[in-house]
A and B are shown apart, each in its own frame.
Chain A
């Protein structure tokens, strides 16, 4: 099974986020980026599948300027190929629609049986990359996956639902899967192995340009969350709570 893993670089929240007063958007000049945590789980799940059933793991990411170490780490963990996509504006936090379009274009030249990525990321403003990409590729998509088992000619995936419910879903043919958590915590790879990968492995590059996007949600402004003074608990039975809530919403101008 040839698996492609998609890794998105997202703002590292260890640094304070700042809003650029001029653009009203995230100030990216001093932003620290890190691989999306759930994408790391997707890589782990892909490596586990490869170890059990053979095949290959290819890691794909948009080059945001700071991705090499993560790609070499993926090699050290057991990935076979690592590819960074180069193009205009990739360091400016493109929308998920645009990321999906870029990935679709790059994937036209890469063989795969399965695409894994994190179900979601901290900076998803316009849907999830996996679902958007699946739509563009006309492939099935299942998200919130915590386990993948290879069956006879198909996969059985375990999907998490709210409220502690789990479903097992059969998936056949090429598909895009959104990983919520790998079966095991992502592995640790010693630094010396990463250093060795830096010396011996090669990061492939694919230039992608001219990506068109049908719909793109424009972001007009961003703001840091304001901390309120207190929370108000609405007491009473269902009827009373609903009435008070409706009154509050009208009072605050949320509904007419």
Chain B
């Protein structure tokens, strides 16, 4: 049943979200709106949204489309003194109402339509999901044909599987796993998008559809634990899939590699001095208090020749790359509304601390930040590399 008043909407959020009742305790302090990267361009940043809902201005809220600037980065939720689940609850629920009402930017509709039809947001052939591993130097077993139990089921994800730039990260990680003699396998064509970002666009039904397909595929095989280089997949598998009856241990690749730190360290060689800074992905850090801050830094600092420097916004204060919550599929819309890109702010921060390399740990980030290096006119001055790539470079040259 669709919502017809603000109060019914608030009731729905309270009932449907863990800790949803906290929304009744909003102090109207505005910390959320202040920390929101796109708050300046939104008609209703979180504080104003709650004020409008309390004033029963549901019509006004639905008239505005700037909720689509929300990148679900958890910045607001992480600073809220009343612990209101703003990102997971309020903002994604409003996006759901927008979708139900048919108010959806065309580019987002394409990504959601692709996700439903092909199981990936990029609209690529599901059959070609493992093509990145074809004729690759390292064997990458696909579970359907491997027929043997594995220790590690590697959830590669949409961008890791299909995006030409992110495929390089995927191949680097495959080489690292191989040299560590990890018994791993991938789902290949049986894998679907993890659905996390689709959920944070408000399309929870699509999330469930994708999650159930993945759960059915994974339940067919015997494996020890799941690893992924995608913080969104990590977040979904850790916090959302258990709700649907699939509860298995999942680790981000940086967590998994730190566990094998003693074996990695002797393989790392000095390939030259580089000043490296690190961008904390929202879904490794702030989101659901995942708080994976130490492991990526431990790996980077172990690479001989690396001088590690922090940017001013780090850990829980990291600035979103703009790809979450559907932002990955709303570039045109976001530019039209805000005339700025958070990636560009980040590139300037990295350059300000004199970094040669911006290290990342999320598949959205490599292409987004590389674009921003170019769009800020800094091509050649800053390299963007996933931690897996930096490790592979140090190991194999």
Q: Which residue of B lies closest to A188 (CB)?
A: B109
Query: Which residues of chain A are near B208, meaning CB under 8 Å?
Result: 191
- In the complex, what distance in Å separates the CA atom of A16 from the CA atom of B112? 23
Assuming the contacts A14-B124, A15-B125, asked whether A188 and B113 have C-beta atoms less than 8 A apart, the reply is yes
Report yes or no: B112 in contact with A188, Cβ–Cβ below 8 A. yes
Map CB proximity to A onto B169-213 as digits: 1 under 8 Å, 0 otherwise. 000000000000000000000000000000000011110110000
Q: Which residue of A lies closest to B113 (CB)?
A: A188
Query: Which residues of chain B are near A195, meaning CB under 8 Å?
Result: 205, 209
| Distance of B330 from chain A, by nearest CB (Å) | 14
Residues of chain B from 115 to 174 with CB closer than 8 A to chain A in the complex: 116-118, 123-125, 127
Map CB proximity to B onto A5-36 as digits: 1 under 8 Å, 0 otherwise. 00000000011100000000000000010100
| Distance of A34 from chain B, by nearest CB (Å) | 7
Query: Which residues of chain B are near A191, meaning CB under 8 Å?
Result: 116, 203, 205-206, 208-209
Q: Does A164 contact B (CB under 8 A)?
A: no
Q: Does A187 contact B (CB under 8 A)?
A: yes
Report yes or no: A185 in contact with B205, Cβ–Cβ below 8 A. no
Chain B interface extent, by class: 20 to 34
Q: Which residue of A lies closest to B106 (CB)?
A: A185
Q: Does A217 contact B (CB under 8 A)?
A: no
Report yes or no: B205 in contact with A190, Cβ–Cβ below 8 A. yes
Q: Does A192 contact B (CB under 8 A)?
A: yes
Assuming the contacts A14-B118, A34-B117, A195-B205, asked whether A188 and B99 have C-beta atoms less than 8 A apart, the reply is yes
Q: How many residues of A contact B (CB 8 A)?
A: 14
Assuming the contacts A191-B116, A191-B209, A192-B204, asked whether A15 and B104 have C-beta atoms less than 8 A apart, the reply is no
Q: Does B102 contact A (CB under 8 A)?
A: yes
Residues of chain A from 145 to 198 with CB closer than 8 A to chain B in the complex: 185, 187-188, 190-195
Query: Which residues of chain A are near B204, meaning CB under 8 Å?
Result: 192
- In the complex, what distance in Å separates the CA atom of A34 from the CA atom of B205? 21
Query: Which residues of chain A are near B99, meaning CB under 8 Å?
Result: 188, 190
- In the complex, what distance in Å separates the CA atom of A188 from the CA atom of B116? 11
| Distance of B340 from chain A, by nearest CB (Å) | 27
Map CB proximity to A onto B223-266 as digits: 1 under 8 Å, 0 otherwise. 00000000000000000000000000000000000000000000
Q: Can you give 8 A-B contacts (C-beta < 8 A)?
A: A14-B123, A32-B125, A187-B102, A188-B104, A188-B109, A191-B208, A193-B100, A193-B205
Nearest 6 CB-CB pairings of A with B? A192-B205, A191-B205, A191-B206, A188-B109, A14-B125, A190-B99
